[in-house]
Amino acid sequence: MIKQRFVGFVVLVAIAVIFWPIVFVTPENADDFKLPVFEMPPKPEVEVSERREPVLNKVDQAVLPKVPELQPPISQPVDIASPAPNAALVDADEEPDQQSSALERAEFDDQGLPVSWELQIATFSNVHRAEEISQLLRDKGHKAYVSPIILDDQRLFRVMIGPKLQKQRLIDIQPAINDYFSVESFIVRFAPI
């Protein structure tokens, strides 16, 4: 019985210690506690220049080489068994030859936006094979990706390189890609989704 009374006394003392400051201590004066006042910094003085429209030089079409516009045919999916044994895949960081570097000019559409181009390498029915080819191209430094499409109620996967502003760069690497994978790739205009 004495133990129970002693435990009760200890509990009451603990409760008193906890609640004593809440009940009997006067609250701090509200004037003593102030939140810091933050002022908004003054607006910076910034000079804004006029927006200039890009100067588009007309290019004589007779000087440029004739490149046929090819639309990719709707073809059946291709499975590339293995790369050609004696073909080498060109690295993306190789410099184009002098003729093509002289022809590097960005084209602009009717809205003044740059026209981009892609190299469509192949279309696969197997996403894993498409990713494998895309990864092989990325390892060589090309900007390759897989684009899913639906054709005749069948989900297919296209392997693409690009987009690039200079069509000539794609024309330069196209023969090496075609030889390496034994395909006929197509240069198509990039259309963002």
Q: Within 10 A of 94 (CB to CB), how many other CB atoms are there?
A: 12
181 found inside a domain: yes
Task: Name which of 145, 171, 163, 158 is nearest 90 in CA terms.
Answer: 171
Determine the average pLDDT of the residues in 140-148: 92
127 domain-assigned: yes
111 found inside a domain = no
Share the mean pLDDT of the chain: 78
For the cut 80, the answer to whether the pLDDT of residue 14 exceeds it is yes
Q: What is the CATH number of the domain that holds 154?
A: 3.30.70.1070
Is 16 among the domain residues?
no
Q: On the CB side of 19, how many CA atoms lie within 13 Å of its CA?
A: 7
162 found inside a domain: yes
What domain range includes position 164?
122-189
In a domain, residue 170? The reply is: yes
Output the six-digit token pair for 27. Answer: 């609250």
Is there a domain that residue 85 lies in? no
Segment 66-90 shows an average pLDDT of 56
Domains in the chain, number: 1
pLDDT digits (tens, 9 = 90+) for 94-126: 555 544 443 456 677 777 778 889 999 999 999
